[in-house]
Chain A
Amino acid sequence: MSSTLSRTALMVAMPLLCLLLSGCSQNSSDNPEADARPKVAYITNGIASFWTFAEKGAKDAAQEFNADVNIQMPANGVEDQKRICQDLLAQGIDGIAISPIDPDNQGDLLTEIGQRTNMITHDSDAPGSERLCYIGMDNYTAGRMCGELVKEAMPEGGSVMIFVGRLGQANSRLRRQGVIDELLDREPDENRYDEPSAGVIKGEKYTILDTRTDGFDFGKAKAQAQDAVAKYDDLGCMVGLFAYNPPLMLDAVREAGKVGKIKIVAFDEHDRSLQAINDKEIYGTVVQNPYKYGYESVRVLAGLARGDSSVIPENKILYIPARQIRNDNVAAFQAELQRLLSTEESEGTTNVVSEPAGDESP
C-alpha cells in the first residue's frame, strides 16, 4: 500500500519538478550582463499572422538595441491581456508596448501599467491614457486609402459589405469609418461614427450594405462571408479590414463561383491575400508595416529604459505610413516581406535541407 502512495507522490512530483527546473534554468541562464539589458514586453491584441512581422521587428530591434523582449499574444481577449500585463508587471519589466483591445474601457489596466513602467501603445492608440507614445498607422487615413481601392475596383459604383474582427478597437472603427467616408466622398473627420446597427448607408454611387464582426472566430468569419454572398445577389465588393478576413472572403466567393463578379479589397498582408492579388482575384490591399511597429516599439522602450526620452517625438505619435498594394506592385512587396523574414526563414530552411543532405552524403 505504501508503494501506491509513493507512486502517487512520484506522479505528482515529476511534472512539478519539470516546471520548477525549467523555471530555474530560465533564471540561471541569465548572464551578468542581463541587468544592463532592459527587459521590455510587446503585447499584441490577439493571435494573427500579422503579428509575426511585428515579432520579427521587435526581435531585430532587441538585438540591435541590446534589450530583451518578451512577446505576448493574448488568446482570450481583454481578460488574457489583463492577466498577461499584470504578470509581466509582477515579474518586473522596464517597459510595455501594448495594442489595447478596448482602449476606452481598459483605462484601469492602462493606468496600472503606466504607473508601474514605461507604457507605449502600438497599432491601436489610447489617447486618453498615460501612454508615452503611440506607434502605428493613422487608421482613418488608411481606411480612406482602402476606400480608394474600392473605388478603383468598382468605378461605376455598387454595393459594399465590410467584414471586421471586432469594432471595439479604435483602429478598426477608424478604418471602417475611413472606408465609408471615402466611398461617400465626405470631408475627412475622424470623430464621425456611423453605428453598424444603423443599417444600410447609401451614398451617391456606393451603398454600404452592412458591417459584420466575427470576434476573431475564423469559422464564423467565413460563414459570414458565405452568408453575405448568398444573401445579396447584387453584392459588388467585399472589404475585409482584418488580416484574416480577405482570404476567407475569397474562399466564399470562389465557392459561389463569383470570382471577378464580386470584387474583394483587403487590408493587411496575409500571404493568401497577396497571392490572390497576384492572381487578380483580390483587387488590392492596404498594408501597414507591422515589422516597423515591433521594431520601433522596442527601440523606443529600450531608449526610455536607458533614460533617453529623445526617442519620443514631440506630438507623442510615431506614424508608420500605410501603403496601397495592387497587382502591379505586389511582387515587389512580397519580395520585401521575404527579405524581412529572411533570417528566420533561412534558419528554418537550412535545418530542413541539411538533414536529407546528410542522409544522401554517405
Chain B
Amino acid sequence: MKKNFGILGILLVVFIATAIGNPNFLTAYNMFNLLERASLYGIIGIGVAFVIITGGIDLSIGSLIGLVATLLPFIVVQQSFPLAVGLFAIFALSLCVGLTHGVLITRLKLQPFVVTLCGLMIYRGIARWIVSDKTMGYGNETFSGLKVMVGNLSQLPGMSGFSWAKHIPVAFLILLVLGVIASVFLNKTIYGRYLLALGRNEQAARFSGINTSVMIIIAYVICSVISGFGGLLFALDYGSIQPDSFGNFYELYAIAAAVLGGCSLRGGEGSIFGIILGAALMRLLMNSISMLGIDDQLEPAVIGIVILIGVMVDELVKRFAARRRAVKQAKVTTALPEVDA
C-alpha cells in the first residue's frame, strides 16, 4: 500500500482541483457515473494484473471484450438460445482463450506480446464476421435481469429500503468483491506467492519446485475470464455494440491502470489496490477534463502526461527508498562484524 501513495496523491489532487473548479463535479449523479466507470475499468485491470505479474502481457483484452459482447446477443437473441446457454458459452470461450494463450506461451515458448497481439486481431475479426459487422444490442428483454449488474445497489433484492443504496453502482460492489478475492489470492495463498516469484525470476521459481508453466497458464485464464466478464458488464452498460470497434484500446487502458498502480511490466510486482486506483485516476481525469471545460481534443494528451508523471514519481520514490535502504544496510554490515568479533 505504501507504494501507492504517489498515485493516491495525484488522485486526491485532481479530485479536489476538479471539485473546486466545478461544484457540479461532486453531485451524486456525477459521482455515481464516475464510480461506475472506474469500477468497470478496474475490473479488467485486475484481470490483466495477473498476467503482468508473471512478466507477460495481454493485448487481446479489448478484442475479447468485443467478441464476448457481440456473441451474447447473437446467441441469445438471433439464435434464440436460452440466456444461460449464452452466458455459459461466453465464459467457456473466455476460458479457452486464456488457456490457449497460456499453452502457446509456456509450451511453445512464444512471446506473450506476439500471441496476444495475434489474439487481438483474431477475436476482432471473428466478432465482426459472425454478425457481419451488424450492431448488436442489449435492448432485448432477456437481458433486463442481467442489467442489474450495471444498475445501482437499491435494485438488488432487499436493498430497496436504503436511500444511500441508489447512489452506489452495483459494478462497484462487484469490483470490491473481485478485488478482495484477487488480493487474498495474490497475498495469502501459495499460488499468489508462486506468481510473484515466477514473475521475478521464473528459473529460480522452477528450481524451487514450482510448476511455473501451470501457474502462467492459470494467470492467462484468470485474465481472459475476468476480461470476458468485464466485457459483459461493458456491453450491458453501453447497450449498443459495434463489433468493429467495441472494446478498442481497452487492453491499453487496463495495462495503463496496472502500470499506474505499481505493476512492473518486468513482472513480479503489483498490488490490486493500486490497480483500482490507477483505473479510477484515468476515469477521473476524463471526467475532470470535461468538468473543467478543457478542450476535449487534449484529453488523450493529458492522460498520457499524467500516466507518465505517475510512473516517474513512482520510479523516483523507489530510488529514494533504495538509497535509504542502502544507507541502512551499510550501517548493519559495518555493525555486524563487530558483533561477531
Contacts and interface: CB of A to CB of B under 8 A. Distances in A.
Bind each other = yes
Nearest to A107: B139
B264 to A, nearest CB: 19
B22 A91 contact: yes
A16 interface: yes
Given A4-B320, A20-B21, A77-B242, A12 B290 contact: no
B135 A167 contact: yes
Contacts of A20: 17, 20-21, 292
Contact of A84 (B14, B25, B237, B290): B290
A13 B139 contact: no
B27 interface: yes
Contacts, number: 156
B9 interface: yes
Given A77-B242, A104-B240, A12 B9 contact: yes
Contacts of B242: 77-78, 101-102, 166, 168, 215
Contacts of B251: none
Interface residues of B, number: 57
B160 interface: no
A87 B287 contact: yes
B134 interface: yes
A16 B14 contact: yes
Contacts of A213: 133, 244
Interface in A196-220: 196-197, 213-217
Contact of B291 (A13, A90, A195, A215): A90
Interface of A: 1, 4-5, 8, 11-13, 15-16, 19-20, 22-24, 26-27, 72-73, 76-79, 82-84, 86-92, 101-102, 104-109, 116, 166-168, 195-197, 213-217
Given A15-B306, A23-B291, A105-B139, 12 more contacts: A1-B323, A11-B309, A15-B302, A20-B17, A23-B20, A79-B246, A86-B29, A90-B33, A105-B136, A106-B240, A168-B135, A196-B132
10 closest residue pairs by CB, A with B: A23-B21, A168-B135, A105-B137, A23-B292, A90-B30, A105-B240, A102-B240, A215-B244, A20-B17, A197-B132
13 contacts: A12-B6, A12-B309, A16-B10, A23-B20, A72-B296, A86-B29, A87-B30, A87-B291, A90-B24, A92-B24, A104-B135, A105-B136, A196-B133
